[in-house]
Amino acid sequence: MTPPRRQRRDVASEPPTPEESEGKPGNPERMYVVAGPDGERAELDLVTLIVARATDPPPSASPEQAALLRLCAAPLSVAELSAYLHLPFSAMGVLLTELLTAELVQARAPIVRKARTDRSLLEAVMNGLQRL
């Protein structure tokens, strides 16, 4: 059995290049938006906590926004949301900026743990209690 032979395409069967097709716009219409109308993004960090203000997503929300709103019933960091939704941080920044602008979510500063107590202070208190 012999393998099938590849057939060559005619040069005429290729689609016309943008220079050849006159009357059509050179740039196609964008099917997505990278940032808001002013190009601004919310200042978010990987540890910024996001909490949903609304319990149910609005009907106009995209599937990603609806999933994000359902996940944010309890505070979650941007890094956790990015991991759960399998989206890069840049895409999460765009989604969260849209939701923050629409006031559907709230961004909070991360909870910072207090500094650890000085060991010498603990030893001094323990020695003082032993003397009693």
Q: pTM here?
A: 0.56
- Beta strands 76-77 and 49-52, pairing class: antiparallel
- Residue-wise pLDDT for 112-129, tens only, equals 766 677 788 889 999 999
Residue 130, pLDDT score: 92
Please tell me the distance from the alpha carbon of residue 81 to that of residue 83, in angstroms, as a whole number.
5
Positive or negative, the CA dihedral 70, 73, 78, 84 is: negative
- Residue-wise pLDDT for 46-103, tens only, equals 888 999 987 788 888 888 888 888 998 889 999 999 999 998 888 888 888 888 888 8
**Tokens of residue 71, six digits:** 């996940």
Q: For residue 29, is pLDDT > 80?
A: no
Residue 15, pLDDT score: 58
Nearest Cα to Cα of residue 104 among 46, 62, 43, 47: 62
Residue 51, pLDDT score: 92
Residue 81, pLDDT score: 92
**Tokens of residue 47, six digits:** 């540890």
Give all strands (DSSP E) within 34-88, no chain letters. Answer: 49-52, 76-77
Residue 102, pLDDT score: 86
Q: How confident is the model at residue 28 (pLDDT cuts 50, 70, 90)?
A: low
